[in-house]
Structures are given as structure tokens and as C-alpha cells.
Chain A
Amino acid sequence: GENVEQHPSTLSVQEGDSAVIKCTYSDSASNYFPWYKQELGKRPQLIIDIRSNVGEKKDQRIAVTLNKTAKHFSLHITETQPEDSAVYFCAASLDKLIFGTGTRLQVFP
């Protein structure tokens, strides 16, 4: 079955800096790659996603890139703000979401 690895497990940045979180997946059949943001005690919220027929997608300060050959995908957050602080999960899906282990992002003012 699908296995998703995510790095780093924690990431601390200064407000205004960029943050990058990387994931790899094992099943080349996976075709949908969402990213979720989870604040403490709350539900995972979809923030951006990418499908396997696209290499890059951007939405304001967040972007996701996908390298199907290498089975890598990454989340890029630019101009980070304290409210970006949360746990971020990547996931890979063919017919169900398999999540990575999460990255705790802390943005310091």
C-alpha cells in the first residue's frame, strides 16, 4: 500500500521568511496530493492540492510542487506569518488519503 514520508517533523522560521515542507510517496498510482493545516485541537483543513497531471500550483502565499518521476511533492509558504503556525500534513491518494507524519511549523514574530 501507499506510504508517505514527510520532513521535517518540526520547522521554526522567523516571520517573513519562507518555509518548505517535503513529502515522498511510494505508490506511483497515486494521483492526488493535498496539503492540510491542523491547528491545535481542530480538524485538518485543506489548504491546497495538486493532481498528477500538474507540476506546480500556487495560491497567494502557498505553492505546491510535484515531481512524479521522483515521487516527491513539496509545500512552499512565503512571507510566513504567526498565524501560519500549525501542524501541516501532506497526503497522497488514489482512492483514499494516506497522510504523512506531519510538520509542526512555528513562525516567530
Chain B
Amino acid sequence: EPEVTQTPSHQVTQMGQEVILRCVPISNHLYFYWYRQILGQKVEFLVSFYNNEISEKSEIFDDQFSVERPDGSNFTLKIRSTKLEDSAMYFCASSPRTEAFFGQGTRLTVV
């Protein structure tokens, strides 16, 4: 069964550094998302991406964040100048239209 895959599974970075989280969505899906889950809290919407552009973004998704689909398969989330409060699990999801399927997540730890 096709799955959304994310790399790395765990990333430790120093405060102020840039990180890139990578996702390979399910191949025939058209809609891509990034979500964040701070430990023990709910899953929060960051950004949605369709037709090679951002379709919607949340208040969390400020100028520190950017997304790209650099080729036909990868979907990346870049966080510039990371802060301690960026520490969380970041989930990528893809969808053919409404059902969203999540990757296994990247645990980002900012120290």
C-alpha cells in the first residue's frame, strides 16, 4: 500500500540554524499539507499546497517557513533561523481530494 514517507525521522539542530524537512507524497495525490504537533498537543495545520503553489497557510506559517516542490516527487518544508519553540513533530500529508494520509513524521528538536 502506498505511503507518505518523510525524512529524516529525527533532526536535532541548534537554535538559529536552518532545517529542511522532506516528504514524498503518494504519487497520484494532488494536495499536500504540513502539520505540526507539539508534544502532547493537537495536530496543527501549517500550510496546504496545490498546483505548485500555496493554497492556504495558518498564522503559525510566518516568514520563517517556506515550502517547495523542487521536483515531481518531493515536497519540502524549510524552517529558517529555528527557535526553541519550533521543537515539535512535523507531519506531511497528501490527499487525492479530501482523505489525508500522513507520513510518519519528523521529530525536530531545537537546542
- B102 contacts chain A at the CB level, 8 A cutoff: yes
A34 touches B99 (CB 8 A): yes
- A100–B104 Cα distance when bound, in Å, is 20
- Residues of B near A42 (CB, < 8 A) are 104
Q: Which of A97, A99, A101, A102 has the largest number of chain B CB atoms within 10 A?
A: A97
B48 touches A95 (CB 8 A): yes
B33 touches A97 (CB 8 A): yes
Instruction: Give the total of A residues in contact with B, Cβ under 8 Å.
Output: 20
- A102–B103 Cα distance when bound, in Å, is 19
- Residues of A near B48 (CB, < 8 A) are 95-96
- A87–B35 Cα distance when bound, in Å, is 17
Instruction: Give the total of B residues in contact with A, Cβ under 8 Å.
Output: 20
B43 touches A96 (CB 8 A): no
> Quick one: CB contact mask for A37-79 with B, threshold 8 Å, 1 for yes?
0000011111001010000000000000000000000000000
B91 touches A46 (CB 8 A): no
Chain A to chain B contacts (Cβ below 8 Å), 22 pairs: A34-B99, A34-B100, A42-B104, A43-B91, A43-B102, A43-B103, A46-B99, A46-B101, A49-B98, A51-B98, A89-B42, A96-B45, A97-B33, A97-B35, A97-B93, A97-B100, A99-B43, A99-B44, A99-B45, A101-B41, A101-B42, A102-B41
B residues with a Cβ closer than 8 A to A are: 33, 35, 41-45, 48, 55-56, 91, 93, 98-105
A residues with a Cβ closer than 8 A to B are: 32, 34, 36, 42-46, 49, 51, 89, 93, 95-102
